[in-house]
Homo-oligomer: A and B are copies of this chain.
Amino acid sequence: MQNNQLASDIARPDRTVALTRGVTRLFIDLGFSPLCEFRLANGRRADVAALDRKGRLTIAEVKSCRADFDVDEKWPEYLEYCDQFYFAVDPAFPQDILPETEGLIIADEYGAAISRNAAERPLVAARRKAVTLRFARQAAQRALLAPCEA
C-alpha cells in the first residue's frame, strides 16, 4: 500500500496519460478493443486492457520512468488476469531493467509499436469468463459517459 502510494507519487501523470493514449491507438490498430483503467478482481488497476476478436485479453502497464517501475513490486499480479502482458514505456526508458520474460511496447503520445512479443499464458476458462464479464460491465459503465448513438 505504501509502495502503491509511492508509485502514484513517482509516476509522471502527464507522461502516463500520453503513453496510455499511444498504447490505446496501437491496440485499436491491432483490432483490439481497449479499455483504460481496468479494475481487476484483486484490486489492481491495469492501465490498458484490451479484448481481441477471439476473446484474448491483453494488459499493458505503462511505466513513465525508471522510478515508476522500481517501486512497483506487484506487477506480477496482473499476469493471472490476462493472456498477454506488456510493459509500455517511452523510447528513453532504460529497457534493460525490464524483465525479458514479458512483452515490451515502445510508445509515445501518437502511437506505439511492439518491441518484444508477450508470452502467451492462456487463461483457464472460468477465469476468462469472469474477467471478460468484468471488462464488459466496466466498459458499459464507462460508455454511459459517452454520447449514445442515435
Question: Is A22 at the interface (CB under 8 A from chain B)?
Answer: no
Number of residues of chain A lying within 8 A (CB) of chain B = 33
Q: How far is the CA of A61 from the CA of B5 in the complex (A)?
A: 46
Question: Is A20 at the interface (CB under 8 A from chain B)?
Answer: yes
Binding site for B on A (CB under 8 A): 13, 17, 20, 24, 28, 33-37, 50-51, 53, 55, 129, 132-133, 135-150
Least CB separation from A142: chain B residue: B143
**Closest-CB distance, A10 to chain B (whole angstroms):** 16
By a CB distance below 8 angstroms, the chain B residues around A146 are 142-146
By a CB distance below 8 angstroms, the chain B residues around A51 are 133, 136-137, 140
Q: Given A132-B132, A132-B133, are A33 and B141 neighbors across the interface (CB < 8 Å)?
A: yes
